[in-house]
Structure 1
Amino acid sequence: MKALNQKLFRDLLHMRGQVLAIVLIVACGIASLVTMMSTYDSLKLTQDTYYEQYRFAEVFMQLKRAPESLVSRIETLPGVGAVQTRVVKDVTLSVAGLVEPATGRLISIPERPTPMLNDLFIRTGRYPERGDEVLASEAFAKANHLGLNDTVGAIINGRWQTLRIVGTALSPEYVYEIRGTELVPDNEHFGLLWMQQDALGTAFDMKARGPLTMSSLRLMPEASEAEAIFQLDQHLETYGGLGAFGREDQVSNKFISEEIRMLSAQAVLVPSIFLGIAAFLLNLVLSRLVSTQRDQIAVMKAFGYDNMAVGMHYLKLVMVVVILGAILGSGLGWRLGWGMTRLYADFYHFPLLRYEIRPAVLLMALLVSGGAAILGAFLAVQRAVTLPPAEAMRPEPPAIYHPTLVEKLGLQRWFSAPSRIILRNLERRPVQGLLSVVGIAVAIAILVLGRYFTDAMDALVDIQFRTIQREDITLVFNNPLSAQAQFDLYHLPGVLRAEPFRTVPARLRFGHLSELSGITGVAPTNELRRLLDRDRNPVALPPEGVVLSTKLSDLLQAQLGDELIVEVLEGERPTRTVPVTGIFDELVGISAYMDIHALNRLMREGFTLSGAYLQVDARQQSQLYAQLKQTPVVASVALRQSTIDQFNDIIAESMGGFTTVLVGFASIIAFGVVYNAARIALSERGRELATLRIIGFTRGEIAFILLGEQAVLLVLAIPVGFALGFGLAALITNFYDWELFRFPLVVTPASYAFAFVVIMAAALVSGGIIRRQLNRLDLIAVLKTRE
């Protein structure tokens, strides 16, 4: 086998350009597989370990207020393993150095450190020992440059109180730290503060009337979550329970679990594209190699090499490509996986986020890439081993030529001789040309897909936060207020427009389906919070009935005219039947809207509001913020511009790196496909091109013939690639159709232009290399080749 190994080395050296291009494509496939799978494994393992070690609850329940004696009643419910009850309240904070008001979520903890559900990991400092001491969430402290012993001001139950930070902490309940109504974290304006339960209960005057506002529990291994939720709702209804829900519906867990699910899906989709292209190229290269080495195969068999030895000789070439690609791709995948994991660490807060690659991932990458390569090369290797020696000694029979379509139509006089040669070759090799078009189109599609994520995020921000949500500030009050509050808002500095809203927690039922959501009542004439359909046209808010978002309508399978059962989870907790009178489109959350007067009637109350959307004069924002910090009735302040800024940061940080990687990978595919197609064409038609040179064609003319054919394939591939890219974007849009948010299907002309420029650059580079090889074509050696 030593002689065959020497031959293999010479073949690799002779085809080094083609082999290198395929190695890079295999490396891209393995790198993407290792990146996605290692990041998936790291996040999944970290999540599971964190949840288990810090006892993340499995069922959650919000209450108005309840006595501590409720704990013993919940513990007796079937399947309940552990119970944790707390006081949870949102308050307005004044943070040194921050002009805008912030929102703090005060969460009670025991007087002394003790194991509990949703336990805390104290990163720095110590446990609170006094009533005015708190632990701050690490992200909030970092965003506002708060250190140990720094203070923040808070309005707690209408009274100003100074809270001293004695440590920073993390909780499994807030791995993704948002207040529940947001899409991206705003750590500068929202943070968690853990405070001793006695001190927090006293501050809110909750000692006598029941100090608990939230309950969470873990279940026994054999317990039914659905049954536990049903029992919990029944027992807590008299205490103002706002509906129990499982871990899968807990906001923080839902975000990270959906992200992990997406990583798993991408770990299949993206590598499949790269390895499929690599298999296609290996088939082309080996097919051409077998074709040009027919006489060598005959000699090998004449010297006694059997079919197994010949087949293994060509399979070794495939495995050399795979092994080189695996080594390069594994290293690149490790580096990209580490970077992606660090990027996730900026959004998800774990005590320890370890990145590691399991040996099984590397083995799977090698097996998958090797399998794809061998499958792609199977037909070519089969041709080599089944070729009889006597037949192999003869040259391949010449192709049978027929008039082309252009010639049959009599249009050949409109084309020059080189142009007719190009058209003739394309028509006589339709399968090879089609495969080249598909390969280039896939590269273009990946380029379009890379830019799609940025397009989608930009469109989401523009639609949701500039077209639908046009308010500058959203105020939420501690408790529903009377109509007078609407007019009082205009006394705040800089308020140009104030539009009230009423929010009622409710469970919506249709048939056997239900969703724990809420209904928001707004005025039909609202301009700051608009309802739009899929075409971005305004949706009128009818005087009666409920209007559902598209996603909520899909979840309930409710359409126009259907009757919903609304179980209100506030006040007297009435149950009403309300018709669906409209459907609107929204990209964030699942929402239901009613005319605010109709909602007040449904609640059998006067004109009542839970908060207001404000449009403010930018010149007076500082004065407004200062007054809001001192306003007792305000529970939280949300700033639209801050949300937009957070989105832009995400686009700049995460999407920029992701797009760069995809562009790099797609450029490698484009170069590999175009270069290999041109190089194979050169090897197949070397004698023809040399003959044309001998009879008087210039170097430029034969370059035009060879590269012009590739240019035609490129032109045909561009619209196919654009269509395929749009299709991939639509597929990704379906993947990102979450309850929390949805990606709009938007691919801008700039994305198509970007893909066009990159693919043309890759084609020009590969064309330049082929042109240099044409210029060095040895005419005498080529013409001596036996046909």
Structure 2
Amino acid sequence: MSPLDRKLLRDLWAAKGQVAAIAAVIAVGVMVLVMFTGLVLSLDETRRAYYERHGLADVFAPLERAPRAVLDDLAELPGVARAEGRIRGAGRIDLPGRALPVQAVALSLPQDTPAALNGLRLAEGSRPAPGRNDEVLVLESFARANGLGPGDRLSATMNGTRRSFVIVGLAQSPEFLYTTPPGELAPDDARFGVIWMPHKAVAALYDMEGAFNEAILSLQRGARAPPVLDAVDRLLEPYGGQGAYPLAEQTSNRFVSEEIRGLEMMSRAVPPAFLAIAAFLLYIVVWRMVQAEREEIGLLKAFGYTDAEVAGHYAKFVLAIALAGALLGALAGLALGRATVSLYIQYFKFPFLVFRLDPAAVVLGGTVSVAAAATGGLVVLRQVFRLQPAEAMRPPAPPDYSRAGRIGAGLAARLDQPTRMVLRRLTRQPLRMGGAVAGIAVGMGLCAAMITIHAGFERTVRLGFEVVNRSDVTVTFTHPLSEAALYRIARMEGVRAVEPQRHVPVAFRHGLETHRGAISGLVERPELFRALDEEERAVPLRADGLVLGDALADILGAAPGDVIEAELREGARPVLRLPVAAVAASAIGTPAYLELSALNRALGEGFRASDALLTVDAAQSDALVQALAEMPFVAGASSKAEARAALQELMDSGMGTMRFINMALAFIVAFGVVYNAARIAYAERARDLASLSVMGFSRGEVTFVLLGELVVVTLLALPIGSAVGYGLTLVIAAAFSNELYQVQALFSAASHGYAALVVLAALLVSGLLVRRDIARADILAVLKTRE
């Protein structure tokens, strides 16, 4: 080992505290990059392989009823590779011991041959035997959640007919990776089921002999979806076509895509902040080393070491820290990614999901971390090249403070000597102090952003289930009903209030932007479900204008006054042109609201409601729910408490868990920045502090001289960190938000206050550690050190 390499090891050991802190910051940035990139790769490739293996359709086309001969016409359309028809119907499953009925979807299995499109993966049991119309397959996640298995019997009501079935197998489907009860957005395996039945059995139940009510199509390689969708809509219009849509808009696939998009945004937004902090800290540390070792640098050059060899020694110091951090980050990212991927097995119903380490991410993480470290040390290394032996072995010229800021005579007279020493250092080295302020501000900003995001998640749940929705139970009807059904429900024992709603599927268009969603018809002055503005005040509904949720307004690029084209996919299927009356704060989903009577008039119908919101007497809720379940026109009923629990579980899993991970990492970075600032300050002033001790200053005064500077720097960094935190909150909130829920990037005084307390706690701990070093320091040894 060369002498320079032995010196390198001694230097690393002497600065082990700072080395560990900087390597930890680099490791965090690389870890986030490796983990998020690996999760994106794992989810995307698993999804692609699963879709291809089981032939998930490229186009879905619901309709009212069409003869099977129409499938031949669909298959002949340009761009279509294959067309299949199936029967899809709503159902209701009654489970023993469960008060609320479970909503379900019944799907037909092909009559003779296995499906080429939307194939099933049999997880347990077998397929229904030919001619056995009472045998069914059930979605595995639903069966597991309710303790069902092959051989169990299942009671269900379909199209008003109550039937009993035998479960012969449990199935998985790429079409149902993400399953939600109708009318809700949060998945709940226990409250939504999918039943696959022989084609003849479903046809008999829904009066579809020789017909189908949903077409699924695969496209030829290279075919564009929009022209095919238009052709399918024209062909199916006489048969009550409800609008074909591509795989990208299929509910399950859309939420998988949203999750991948959020992970990609996080992988781009978070690592640069960590690596920038590491670059700054390395610059300070290496600059301090070069200044302290001027004489040694001169001696090395005088003894024959070249400029490149000496500079390489300090470059190795930087690279050792960067590579150690990158390696640690890659290993931590792999471990955390493998632990996190198990959450996605529960979140999305993939049959398998293995965390794949993206080699490119590891290479990129290492390259970027080394580049950041090199950036931090490059400016300092230029000084090493410029130092000539004779110049380096002379003491450096005393710094010129003639142009530095001065403390006024009046103020100086009122301050003691230690305080004046602190202020002089701050005014004489403004750039250095500004760099320390910037580093601590970024650390606090990360903390503030993550605490605010955590509060934003809680606000989303509170707003959605306490302020917007004030009902207890939502009752969904099998089809839109008149006021008579509402009166019947209102007279039931235990019902306190009833409020009707109607949800109509619609295709929105504004300029070049489109969105497939729904219009919710609300009464003129709703009480149980309201549209609210940012101040949580009720937004009045109008008959001549839409109220858009802010998430939908962003998607369409619409603002109040803009005209939206809405193609209704129900009733007479009119195309409406409605102005945007207002934009409401939407915490959950992408809603659009219209006054109920105006929506019914647009459909050419009298009063109709597709569901009803109820407030109920808690003491009579069980009996009421049982009575509702027995009504033939009730498709299902859901408790707001269950829906809230499902959303809370969703937000605490999958992408939602990342907020806890990021919060912990932000705390680590905040402490690392403050601790490094304290250690650097101590290393720079160790000789001065020892001199003060010899001159008679007490240990407390010596500590004050050192830490007073850090306290002032930290206090200056707090307001700047708050501003940085708000900016980061905007970026991170956008990454977490999707069509399911929106995390508001609001300024939270409490969140920023907690972040400030974290930084102050880091300051206190760092001060105690440095004070311990001051107490342990050998004053004579420090004074003998030549700088």
State the secondary structure of the residue aligned to 1:295: helix
Q: Is the 8 A contact 2:677 2:710 kept in 1?
A: yes
Residues 1:379 and 2:379 aligned together: yes
What SS does the corresponding residue of 1:615 show, helix, strand or coil? Answer: strand
1:336-381 deviation digits (Å, cap 9, x = unpaired) = 1112211222211111101121333322222221121112111112
1:393 aligns with 2:393: yes
Paired residue for 1:44?
Answer: 44
Task: Rate the CA distance shift 1:220–1:443 in 2: closer, same or farther, 3 A.
Answer: same
74-83 or 480-489: bigger deviation? 480-489
Q: Scaled by the length of structure 1, what TM-score is found?
A: 0.95
**1:158 aligned partner:** 160
Residue 111 (structure 1) shift: 4.0
- 2:442 corresponds to which letter in structure 1? V
Q: Which residue of structure 1 lines up, in the alignment, with residue 192 of structure 2?
A: 190
Tell me whether 372-381 or 682-691 shows the greater mean CA deviation: 682-691
Match of 2:733 in 1: 733
1:184-583 correspondence runs (5 A): 184-207=186-209, 210=211, 212-402=212-402, 407-408=407-408, 410-511=410-511, 513-583=513-583
Q: Report the alpha carbon displacement of residue 133 of structure 1 after superposing the two structures with TM.
A: 2.0
Counterpart of 2:252, as a letter, is S
Preserved CA contact (<8 Å) 2:460 2:741: no
Match of 2:620 in 1: 620
Q: 2:140 aligns with which of 138, 141, 145?
A: 138
Shift of 1:750: 4.2
Give the alignment's TM-score, normalised by structure 2.
0.95
Q: Equivalents in 2 of 1:653, 1:571: separation in Å?
A: 39
Which residue pairs with 1:711 in the alignment? 711
CA distance in 1 between counterparts of 2:40 and 2:288 reads: 40
Q: Deviations over 1:129-172 (max 9, x none)?
A: 22222222222122212222222321111121122222222111
* Cα distance in 1, alignment partners of residues 576 and 256 from structure 2: 35
| 3-state DSSP of counterpart to 1:407 | coil
d(CA) in 2 for partners of 1:512 and 1:20? 52
1-structure distance, mates of 2:511, 2:324: 58
Contact 2:269 2:732 in 1 (8 A): no
Contact 1:242 1:506 in 2 (8 A): no
Compared CA separation, residues 385 and 97, structure 1 to 2 (3 A): farther
| Greater shift in the superposed pair: 630-639 or 404-413 | 404-413
Q: How far is the alpha carbon of 1:173 from its aligned partner?
A: 1.3
- Cα gap change, 1:418 to 1:305, in 2 (>3 Å): same
Structure 1 residue aligned with 2:9: 9
Partners of 1:178 and 1:190 within 8 A in 2? yes
Contact in 1 for aligned 2:111/2:199 (Cα 8 Å): yes
Q: For residue 593 of structure 1, what is the aligned residue in structure 2?
A: 593
Distance 1:656 1:440, change over 3 A: farther
Is the deviation greater in 176-185 or in 439-448? 176-185
| Percent of pairs with identical residues | 38
Amino acid at match of 1:163: F
Q: Which runs of 5+ in 2 are unaligned?
A: none
Instruction: Note if contact 2:453-2:733 (Cα within 8 Å) is conserved in structure 1.
Output: no
> Which residue of 2 is the match for residue 86 of structure 1?
86
**Quick check: 1:395–1:786 contact (8 Å CA) kept in 2?**
no
Separation of aligned partners in 1, 2:185 and 2:761? 38
Does the aligned pair in 2 maintain the 1:157–1:203 contact within 8 Å? yes
Equivalent residue in structure 1 for 2:180, among 166, 178, 183 = 178
Alignment-derived partner of residue 642 in structure 1: 642
SS in 2 for 1:745: coil
Pick closer, same or farther for the CA change 1:174–1:321 going to 2, 3 Å: same
The Cα of 1:706 is off from its aligned counterpart by 0.4
Q: Which amino acid aligns with 1:454?
A: H
For the residues of structure 1 that align with 2:127 and 2:167, how far apart are their CA atoms?
10
Give the corresponding residue for 1:762. Answer: 762
Q: Would you say the 8 A contact 2:92–2:156 is kept in 1?
A: yes
Deviation string, structure 1 residues 726-783 (Cα, Å, up to 9, x no partner)? 2211222334554443222235444334323332332222222211111122222332
1:362 is matched by which residue type in structure 2? V
Tell me which amino acid in the other structure corresponds to 1:688. Answer: D
Offset, 1:786: 3.4
Given candidates 126, 148, 151, the residue that maps to 2:150 is 148
1:18-63: CA deviation from partner (whole Å, max 9, x where unpaired): 1121122222122112111111111111111111111122111111
Distance (whole Å) between structure 1 residues aligned to residue 651 and residue 580 of structure 2: 37
CA 1:12–1:529 in 2, change beyond 3 Å: closer, same or farther?
same
> Cα–Cα, structure 1 residues 678 and 628, in superposed 2: closer, same or farther, change >3 Å?
same
Mean Cα displacement is larger for which, 297-306 or 400-409? 400-409
**How far did 1:305 drift?**
1.2
Residue-by-residue CA offset, 1:465-507 (whole Å, 9 max, x unaligned) = 2111222222222222222112111243422111122333333
Distance 1:322 1:561 in 2: 54
Aligned amino acid, residue 83 of structure 1: A
CA contact (8 A) 2:259 2:655 kept: no
CA contact (8 A) 1:19 1:321 kept: yes
Given that 1:503 and 1:519 are in contact with CA atoms closer than 8 Å, whether structure 2 keeps it comes out as yes
Distance 1:546 1:677, change over 3 A: closer
On the 8 A contact 2:450/2:666 being kept in 1, the answer is no
CA contact (8 A) 1:490 1:496 kept: yes
Q: Aligned partner of 1:441: which letter?
A: A
Where 2:349 maps in the other structure, the secondary structure is coil
**Residue identity opposite 1:250 in structure 2:** Q
CA distance in 1: counterparts of 2:63 and 2:217, whole angstroms: 14
- Verify the 8 A CA contact 1:445 1:721 in the aligned structure 2: yes
Could you tell me which amino acid in structure 2 is paired with residue 166 of structure 1?
V
Aligned-pair CA distance for 1:80:
0.3
| RMSD of aligned alpha carbons | 2.2
CA distance in 2, matches of 1:415, 1:353: 66
Structure 1 CA distance, aligned partners of 2:313 and 2:519? Answer: 70
Asked if structure 2 preserves the Cα contact closer than 8 Å seen for 1:25 and 1:275, the reply is yes
Q: Tell me what 1:167 maps to.
A: 169
- 2:407 aligned counterpart, secondary structure: helix
| Separation (CA, whole Å) in 2 of partners of 1:361 and 1:405 | 47
- In structure 1, C-alpha distance between the alignment counterparts of 2:203 and 2:164, rounded to whole Å: 16
Note the C-alpha offset of 1:389: 1.2
Cα gap change, 1:111 to 1:747, in 2 (>3 Å): farther
| 1:406 CA displacement | 6.3
Q: 1:410 to 1:663 in 2, by over 3 A?
A: same
Q: Displacement of 1:301 after TM fit?
A: 1.0
**Cα separation, 2, equivalents of 1:497 and 1:154:** 29
* Residue 632 of structure 1: aligned partner: 632
CA deviation after TM superposition for structure 1 residue 654, in Å: 6.0
Aligned residues: 785
In 1, the alpha carbon distance for the partners of 2:368 and 2:2 equals: 29
1:564 Cα deviation after fit: 4.2
Cα–Cα, structure 1 residues 22 and 560, in superposed 2: closer, same or farther, change >3 Å?
closer
In the alignment, the residues of structure 1 paired with residue 214 and residue 712 of structure 2 have an alpha-carbon distance, to the nearest angstrom, of 67
Q: Which residue in 2 is equivalent to 1:65?
A: 65
- Please say if residues 96 and 152 of structure 1, whose CA atoms lie closer than 8 Å, have aligned partners that are also in contact: no
Q: CA deviation at 1:701?
A: 0.7
Change (3 A) 1:728 1:79: same
Please say if residues 670 and 763 of structure 1, whose CA atoms lie closer than 8 Å, have aligned partners that are also in contact: no
Contact kept in structure 2, 1:318 and 1:374, CA below 8 Å: yes
* Conserved 8 A contact 2:87-2:208: no
